[in-house]
Amino acid sequence: MSQSFPLQRRHPDDLIVGLVSVSDRASSGVYQDQGIPALTEWLGQVLTHAPQIVSRLIPDERDGIAATLRELVDEARCDLVLTTGGTGPARRDVTPEATLDVASREMPGFAEQMRQVSLKFVPTAILSRQVAVIRESADHAALIINLPGQPKAIRETLEGLRDASGAVQVAGVFAAVPYCLDLIGGPYIETHPEIVKSFRPKSARRATDGNQQ
């Protein structure tokens, strides 16, 4: 079903998320995409208020990926765009290049931390080329983050690593997403701290925020 853009926000802090799965084989029907369902389920678990979601399943084509990212930010007015797939060293892995094509500014800390989390699980994390960027226009900005392609790796990089007692050993990247959205003029979002304890300075918190530090 087609959607008219921009989407209508249900309230001022209504989060609009774009989900992009980049895969030649999944987009051609060879196998079923797992990235978008995994991300949709995870966002529903971690956020205290359900977001509006716009999803796209597309092949590994640099121009097509860039066009999709522009559509989601500029037309659908997404505040956050999460991509999965296409971040390795293979010749068809061009998601990072396409993401940089649409960027106003790069946010290297997200990619650095994702690799730190993944290195706790697999040595091949150093092969990942994920990037994160801000795309800005005169009246809107969005955070775009490249994520791995596998649901298990997606969850690990977003949530981080905990020990047997549940204490966070290595923070996942989503802990910084709410405050990043604040800083670029996006909606105020809150997370369930038992899944992801998001961080904001005291001066930026609302009294109702359950993620008190």
Query: What are the pLDDT digits (tens) for 172-200?
Result: 999 999 999 999 999 999 999 999 999 99
The mean pLDDT of 27-50, rounded to a whole number, is: 89
Residue 208 falls inside a structural domain:
no
Q: Which of 50-59, 72-81, 145-154, 201-210 has the lowest mean pLDDT?
A: 201-210
Categorize the per-residue pLDDT at 2 as very low, low, confident or very high, splitting at 50, 70 and 90: very low
Residue 6 lies inside a defined structural domain of this protein = no
In a domain, 5, yes or no: no
213 part of a folded domain: no
Q: Give the pLDDT score at 171.
A: 87
pLDDT at 4 over 70: no
User: Residue 160 belongs to what domain range?
Assistant: 16-203
Residue 212 belongs to some domain of the structure: no
Average pLDDT value over all residues in the chain: 91
Residue 27 above 80 pLDDT?
no
Residue 1's pLDDT is what? 40
Q: For residue 7, is it within any domain?
A: no
- As given in the structure block, the two tokens for residue 177 are 């997403």
4 falls within a domain:
no
User: Is 8 part of any domain?
Assistant: no
124 pLDDT tier (thresholds 50, 70, 90): very high
**pTM to 2 decimals?**
0.93
Q: Which residue has the tokens 């359900």?
A: 50
Buried b (16+ CB within 10 A) or exposed e, 42-55: bbeebbeeebbbbb
Number of domains in the chain: 1
β-strand pairing of 141-147 with 132-136: antiparallel
Q: Which residues contact 25 (CB under 8 A, 6 or more apart)?
A: 31
CATH number, domain containing residue 196 = 3.40.980.10
> Using CA atoms, how far apart are residues 69 and 91, in angstroms rounded to an integer?
21
Q: How many residues make up the chain in this entry? A: 213
Q: Is the pLDDT of residue 60 over 80?
A: yes
